[in-house]
Amino acid sequence: MSELQAVEAEVAKVAEEAKAEVVKIVEEVKPVAKKALVAITADEKLILAETEVEYLKATMEIQRLTKITEAKAKEYQTAVDGFLTKYGLSKAEYIFDGVKKAFTAIEKKL
């Protein structure tokens, strides 16, 4: 075997070792590399859209009921204030008992 053949054989051996090392590294890197964008199916998109619509409907219903609640609370307070005036009572001396539906004198504690 000539010196040239020995060098060629050594180069081929090193090239094969390098190729094996590259393949090994590529196999290690593959699991680490992740897709930048993962698309979902049309059915999954539909599920999300339907859920979002239901959420928005529920939010609108909550807002509607909140307005009704605020209006009724104001109406109730206006009625109680009207009764105070009608019966000549003072807020400093009487408080309305919603359970008894009557005005109760406030006890003065010293």
Considering the domain boundaries, does residue 75 fall inside one? no
Does 12 score more than 80 pLDDT? yes
Considering the domain boundaries, does residue 84 fall inside one? no
pLDDT tens readout for residues 37-86: 889 999 999 999 999 999 999 999 999 999 999 999 999 999 999 999 99
CB-CB contact of 80 with 96 (8 Å) = yes
Q: Nearest 5°: phi and psi at 34?
A: -120, 155
The strand pairing partners of 96, in sequence order, are 103
Considering the domain boundaries, does residue 1 fall inside one? yes
Q: What is the mean pLDDT of residues 2-28?
A: 80
Considering the domain boundaries, does residue 10 fall inside one? yes
pLDDT band at 31; cut points 50, 70, 90: low
Three-state secondary structure of the chain: CCHHHHHHHHHHHHHHHHHHHHHHHHHHHHHHCCCCCCCCCHHHHHHHHHHHHHHHHHHHHHHHHHHHHHHHHHHHHHHHHHHHHHCCCCCCCEEEECCCCEEEECCCCC
Considering the domain boundaries, does residue 5 fall inside one? yes
Considering the domain boundaries, does residue 12 fall inside one? yes
Q: Which domain covers residue 21, as residue numbers?
A: 1-34
Domains identified in the chain, total number: 1
Considering the domain boundaries, does residue 45 fall inside one? no
Considering the domain boundaries, does residue 95 fall inside one? no
